[in-house]
Amino acid sequence: MRNVCKVIHSIPGRTRIKINQCPYNPNEIEARLRSIPGITSATYSQITQNALVYHSSSQLQSMSLAYLQSLFNRREEVALSSGLKDKEGFNEIKKQAKEVGFVLATLLLEKLLLSTSPTTMLKLITPSSIAVLIASRKTIRTGLSSIFNPNPETLTTAALIASLLKGSPQSALVIYFMSTISEILTEYTMNRTRGYVKEMMEIDTPFAWLMTEEGHEVKVPTNQVRIGDKIIAFQGEKIPFDGTVLSYSAQVDQSSITGEYQPAHVISGHYVYAGSIITEGKIVIEVDKIGEDLAVNRMIKLIEEAQDKQAPIQMMSDRFTRKVVPISFAMAALIFIVTKDWNRVLNMLVIDYVCGVKLSTATAISASIGKAARKGVLIKGGQTLETLAKVNTVIFDKTGTITEGRPIVTNIQTFNGYSEQEILGLAASAEEHSSHPIAEAITLEAKSRAIDIPEHDDETLENIIGKGISVLVQKEKVIVGSRSFMEDNEITIDTTETTGVYVAKEEQLIGIIEIEDQVRQGMNRCMNQMRRHGIDEVIMLTGDYKQSAKNIANRTSIDEYIAEAMPQEKASFVRFLKKEKDRTIMMVGDGINDAPALAYADIGVTLGAKKTDIAIETADVVIHSDNPLLLSDVVRLSQQTMNTIKQNVLATLIINTAAIALGTFGRIQPITGAAIHNAATIGVVLNSAKLIVTGGRMNVFQIQNHSLNTRKNKTNSPGISEHKRVFSY
């Protein structure tokens, strides 16, 4: 007997249970969980196959869990013996389709073989009635188990039994047939979403090639690898751990993590993720994360948590459905007392608002979260989706968000007869052993130009933190650093240029190297697309210097920027816009200094592979790709989701209200009422399911390494407002 149920996490009053390959439907699972003594509520997610249980005791009693385990195992053994093996999650759909065919065939044979209608006593034992009862057994079981706390299945059960007692198996068949179709559509959407999650979960690498201290490759089980170990991954293999590339190079398919369909070229120093596939080459990796800390496992955890965070509109629909079911029973009883007309009573039971509102809302949100997850965008719940659709102001951090966080040389000014090559060679010599990003930009530029870097005298090197470096290069003193560092060394500067790295030789200024952070390719397009989706204000909020912020502002389409803002000032500015200006704010950042602002914003978003752990935990949306266009895609997706839900609710209310009115006055038969109600439900579920096929389509624009955005724009962009620590609280 296999363990179907497993406790994943438990705290006093709350327990999360994993229910593997369960053949029960979600309502039945929830009903059975609630029937266990001590459990006050239970919700089951079809996507993650987890049940969240609230209970009065400090933890689930072992007897209760064992009892549930035995129930599931007994049912599973029957299912397995009949060939029901749900590996992909679609076998339940197939089974339902077969049962629909069975019922239809039975009804057809009955019509062909039986020429007379059955007597009253035989209405429940006709072949078609028995077929409907057998096929609807799950719904009936769940409905009867919740008779004192009515739910949609209770209403459907009452309608089925009443139809059969009335001698109208056709009505019961329509109720069963069309409700099954809507259930199949909902299950299909959930399975598609669950499939996207499974794609991320399937690392499935039982072994790894461990590099020994002697340089040998030893094949070991992955559970024996520890943080700090060195492993090698070859072409065609799946990377088993997160880590940093130490040597060699490879093309790596990271689509399951970042959503980018083109393989990334990784070399020494790059970071790679478990679950990625090496399509070409090989790499040696220093293991940084294992087990639950792997990026892929954290993604799964975030998706699971997202299922528990319902949108306000979803919670409203749940409250609505809980209240409407008893009202439907009350109306049916009242109509029976007044009219004694069973047709009108049946209309009250077969027509309701519950299915359309509840199924379409849950399906739309699930489809959107699942489709986004497939592209490496984690949306933490329906509440986030609903708030995203209302965003009208976007605030960007600069370094690592608007920009790549990787400075590059954009221009070199020359003085006193020196060439660009000479200036760059001397500066690279002085900065050769520095790990500062600006030093790296200078040395990389020199190497890219194939400049011979002259030797310097290490013993004469003097590094003044925050100012610059002085050193003897070929027995001549070279000074590289800021303008103030030049002035400290009594070097005359005749230019008004205030930005850049100054280079002097023998107390004479010979050049200025202009360095800028590279704007992410596609960032301007992202901002313009968001404006088309209703964002009317785009702001850059950075702790960088004013001049640097101004340069980036001139190269992007932002409306306003604030420079030299400390983390607490960023948070204060976000609070100011929310409270004083009544804005709905999305904050986009990636670092520790962005975490307070991300927390205070209505929606916090982290973008790119360099984001910090604290930013991931604080954010509502996590984008693993470096593609900024996914930001505008997320905004568009949220708006489409909310529009779809509103369409569904409106259609459900109009169609079912009209059907109830017609049924109340006896203008339609129960079979017609059932057809109208279930057709409406199928329609709104289809409307929600389309999101996973079309509405969730994400941008395929890819980031490439070229210099389209590296040219410096000397002209100030019109209409940009600038602030320097204007906001203080």
Q: What is the pLDDT of residues 47-57, one digit of tens each?
A: 567 777 777 65
Residue 478 C-beta-side C-alpha neighbours within 13 Å: 27
| C-alpha span between 586 and 623 (Å, rounded) | 14
255, part of any domain: yes
Q: Which residue has the higher pLDDT, 539 or 66?
A: 539
Highest mean pLDDT among 406-415, 419-428, 666-675: 419-428
pLDDT average, residue stretch 590-600: 73
474, part of any domain: yes
Amino acid present at 108: L
| Count of residues in the chain | 729
Q: Is 80 exceeded by the pLDDT of residue 605?
A: yes
Cβ-based neighbours of 340, under 8 Å, separated by 6 or more: none
Q: Are residues 618 and 526 both part of a single domain?
A: yes
**Of the candidate ranges 158-172, 259-273, 455-469, 520-534, the one whose mean pLDDT is the lowest:** 158-172
> Which pLDDT does position 286 carry in this prediction?
94
In terms of Cα–Cα distance, which of 510, 512, 505, 513 is closest to 489? 505
pLDDT digits (tens, 9 = 90+) for 281-296: 889 999 988 876 676 6
> 622, 631 in Cβ contact below 8 A?
no
What rounded mean pLDDT belongs to the chain? 75
> Which pLDDT does position 420 carry in this prediction?
93
| C-alpha span between 208 and 206 (Å, rounded) | 7
Domain boundary among 473, 507, 541: 507
Q: Is 70 exceeded by the pLDDT of residue 434?
A: yes
Q: Is 80 exceeded by the pLDDT of residue 173?
A: no
pLDDT average, residue stretch 694-698: 48
Dihedral of alpha carbons 407, 409, 414, 418, sign:
positive
Beta partners for residue 252, in sequence order: 264, 278
pLDDT average, residue stretch 672-690: 82
Q: What CATH number is attached to the domain comprising 47?
A: 3.30.70.100
> Which pLDDT does position 539 carry in this prediction?
94
Q: Are residues 451 and 310 both part of a single domain?
A: no
Q: Are residues 27 and 73 both part of a single domain?
A: yes
Highest mean pLDDT among 23-32, 216-225, 615-624: 216-225
Q: Which helix (H) or strand (E) holds 447?
A: helix 437-448
| C-alpha span between 331 and 322 (Å, rounded) | 15
The pLDDT confidence band at residue 185, using thresholds 50, 70 and 90, is low
Phi–psi pair at 474, nearest 5 degrees: 50, 45
> 140, 157 in Cβ contact below 8 A?
yes
Q: Are residues 385 and 446 both part of a single domain?
A: no
> Which pLDDT does position 346 carry in this prediction?
75
Other Cβ atoms closer than 10 A to 59: 15
Q: Are residues 260 and 306 both part of a single domain?
A: no
Q: What CATH number is attached to the domain comprising 283?
A: 2.70.150.10
> 638, 368 in Cβ contact below 8 A?
yes
713 lies in which domain range? 380-403+521-638+703-724
> Which pLDDT does position 617 carry in this prediction?
66
Q: Is 60 exceeded by the pLDDT of residue 727?
A: no
Beta partners for residue 512, in sequence order: 413, 502
Q: Which residue has the higher pLDDT, 329 or 300?
A: 329
How many structural domains does the chain have?
A: 5
pLDDT digits (tens, 9 = 90+) for 206-216: 788 898 888 88
The pLDDT confidence band at residue 542, using thresholds 50, 70 and 90, is confident
> 34, 148 in Cβ contact below 8 A?
no
Q: Are residues 552 and 667 both part of a single domain?
A: no
| C-alpha span between 529 and 527 (Å, rounded) | 5
**pTM, full prediction:** 0.60
| C-alpha span between 628 and 632 (Å, rounded) | 8
Q: Is 80 exceeded by the pLDDT of residue 430?
A: yes
> Which pLDDT does position 661 carry in this prediction?
87
Q: Are residues 171 and 314 both part of a single domain?
A: yes
pLDDT average, residue stretch 85-98: 57
46, part of any domain: yes
> Which pLDDT does position 331 carry in this prediction?
81
Domain boundary among 274, 293, 312: 293
Q: Are strands 560-563 and 537-541 parallel, antiparallel or unpaired?
A: parallel
**Of the candidate ranges 193-197, 289-293, 589-593, 623-627, the one whose mean pLDDT is the lowest:** 193-197
373, part of any domain: no
> Which pLDDT does position 179 carry in this prediction?
66
31, part of any domain: yes
Q: Is 90 exceeded by the pLDDT of residue 154?
A: no
Domain boundary among 23, 50, 81: 81
Other Cβ atoms closer than 10 A to 105: 13
> Which pLDDT does position 503 carry in this prediction?
95
* Catalytic residue of the set 86, 229, 352, 397: 397
- Give the tokens for residue 519: 């704007």
pLDDT digits (tens, 9 = 90+) for 10-23: 666 777 777 766 66
512, part of any domain: no
pLDDT digits (tens, 9 = 90+) for 128-153: 777 777 777 877 787 777 777 766 67
Q: Are residues 607 and 718 both part of a single domain?
A: yes
- Give the tokens for residue 690: 């389309």
Is 397 among the residues known to form the active site?
yes
| C-alpha span between 417 and 292 (Å, rounded) | 60
> Which pLDDT does position 668 carry in this prediction?
85
